[in-house]
């Protein structure tokens, strides 16, 4: 049976340095009989030369639009907001299955082009557990950025957090945060919500490596339902809860106005302000690497929020290699998408297309 032709597209999201396919994984797929095309990308953490060295074909950035129809277009983040029909099969994080803004118009492009979407977020095993995720790295980076912002608050920086750039490796990032916190690390009170999940474990590890005292909440602490006024007693909160249905809010805007609030920094690693399931309905837009914080409350006791939807880009090489290694066994099964994780992902895709039809 002929193996698939994977086409790794250049990312269009600003400052997204991660890669959906690393050279080491591409080499293994090529050895298994796959054909692989890689687009040149100025922002990728790994140059196209590395792919060419292992035997991949190199094409210009964004040329996937003219790729043969049988190619499977592989990426990480959303496609740019064009409106041409999508004729290929696509694999990426689409962020459209929770009724996010613009979800209908995006999926309509697949209807018009008769293409197919395998959303990376919905590649799950028979127990509905994701088979590949950046969760650990999102939590780790989220905690790092939040602590960096808290250090900026302690030092009276304005803004408290300058534009972010990627770090070459995990150790360098930890050393940077420890240096910034300096004498403040022992006094920081941090809470991680969803501490037992992938993201939560990453956030907890970052805090512990930085010498910060961290409290861990998970299902037992949140099952009674919010709001939770006790959150106001922490300096830094990291929300790592993976939400699949509507929840009572953890915090409300009115709560944040209370006198005596200690809470200074919130990092919403889950980061879904545009959907219906956001347990932190206190903000309505994401932040970015270039503008990482959103000031929720100004004045003598300010409160800042971080909601960056590609936090693992802070450690692009390590996080990409880990993710791609998790994904590899399933990429090897792409010659039969009518089974396993690919079939389950397609079932969700078809159900969302049917939902669009019913809404018309």
Q: Which residues of 288-314 are buried (b: 16+ CB within 10 A; e: fewer)?
A: bbeebbbebbeeeeebbbbbbbbbbbb
Q: Rounded distance, CA 70 to CA 2, Å?
A: 11
Which positions ≥6 away from 84 have C-beta within 8 Å? Answer: 65, 109, 113
In 3D, which of 175, 72, 163, 168 has the Cα closest to residue 120?
72
In 3D, which of 313, 359, 236, 307 has the Cα closest to residue 19?
313
Q: Rounded distance, CA 33 to CA 333, Å?
A: 12
Question: Does residue 159 have a cis peptide bond before it, meaning omega lies within 30 degrees of 0?
Answer: yes
77 included as an active-site residue: yes
Question: Does residue 17 have a cis peptide bond before it, meaning omega lies within 30 degrees of 0?
Answer: no
CB atoms within 10 A of CB 178: 16
In 3D, which of 141, 216, 154 has the Cα closest to residue 185?
154
Phi, psi (rounded to 5 degrees) for 233 = -90, 0
Q: How distant, in Å, are the alpha carbons of 24, 75, 214 from that of 17?
A: 17, 12, 29
Which among 92, 95, 170, 310 is annotated as catalytic?
95
The label of the residue with tokens 């969700």 reads 348
Secondary structure of residue 337 in the 3-state scheme = coil
Secondary structure of residue 66 in the 3-state scheme = helix
Q: Rounded distance, CA 20 to CA 5, Å?
A: 15
Which among 13, 77, 88, 170 is annotated as catalytic?
77
Pull the structure tokens for residue 172.
């360098």
Q: How distant, in Å, are the alpha carbons of 3, 178, 181, 202, 233 from that of 174?
A: 42, 6, 11, 12, 25
Pull the structure tokens for residue 130.
């994701």
Q: Rounded distance, CA 313 to CA 166, Å?
A: 6
Q: Rounded distance, CA 161 to CA 265, Å?
A: 11
Catalytic residues: 77, 95
């Amino acid at each position: 049976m002929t193996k698939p032709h994977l086409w790794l597209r250049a990312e269009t999201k600003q400052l997204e340095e991660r890669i959906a396919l690393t050279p080491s994984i591409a080499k293994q797929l090529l050895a298994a009989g796959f054909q692989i095309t890689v687009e040149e990308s100025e922002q990728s953490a790994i140059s196209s030369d590395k792919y060419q060295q292992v035997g991949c074909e190199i094409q210009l950035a964004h040329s996937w639009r003219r790729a043969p129809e049988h190619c499977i277009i592989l990426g990480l983040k959303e496609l740019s907001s064009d409106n041409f029909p999508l004729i290929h099969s696509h694999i990426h994080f689409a962020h459209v299955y929770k009724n996010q803004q613009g979800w209908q118009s995006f999926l309509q492009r697949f209807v018009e082009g008769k293409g197919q979407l395998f959303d990376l977020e919905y590649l799950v095993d028979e127990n509905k557990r994701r088979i590949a995720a950046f969760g650990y790295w999102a939590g780790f980076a989220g905690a790092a950025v939040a602590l960096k912002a808290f250090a900026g608050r302690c030092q009276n920086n304005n803004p408290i957090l300058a534009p972010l750039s990627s770090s070459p490796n995990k150790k360098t990032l930890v050393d940077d945060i420890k240096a910034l916190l300096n004498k403040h690390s022992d006094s920081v009170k941090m809470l991680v919500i969803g501490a037992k999940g992938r993201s939560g474990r990453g956030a907890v590890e970052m805090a512990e490596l930085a010498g910060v005292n961290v409290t861990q909440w998970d299902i037992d602490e949140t099952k009674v339902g919010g709001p939770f006024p006790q959150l106001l007693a922490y300096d830094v909160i990291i929300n790592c809860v993976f939400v699949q249905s509507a929840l009572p809010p953890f915090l409300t805007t009115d709560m944040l106005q209370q006198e005596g609030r200690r809470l200074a920094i919130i990092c919403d690693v889950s980061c879904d302000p545009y959907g219906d399931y956001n347990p932190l309905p206190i903000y309505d837009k994401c932040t970015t690497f270039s503008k990482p914080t959103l000031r929720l409350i100004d004045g003598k006791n300010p409160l800042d929020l971080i909601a960056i939807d590609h936090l693992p880009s802070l450690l692009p090489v390590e996080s990409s290699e880990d993710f791609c290694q998790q994904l590899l066994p399933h990429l090897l099964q792409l010659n039969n998408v009518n089974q396993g994780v690919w079939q389950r992902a397609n079932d969700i895709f078809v159900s969302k297309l049917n939902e669009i039809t019913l809404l018309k």
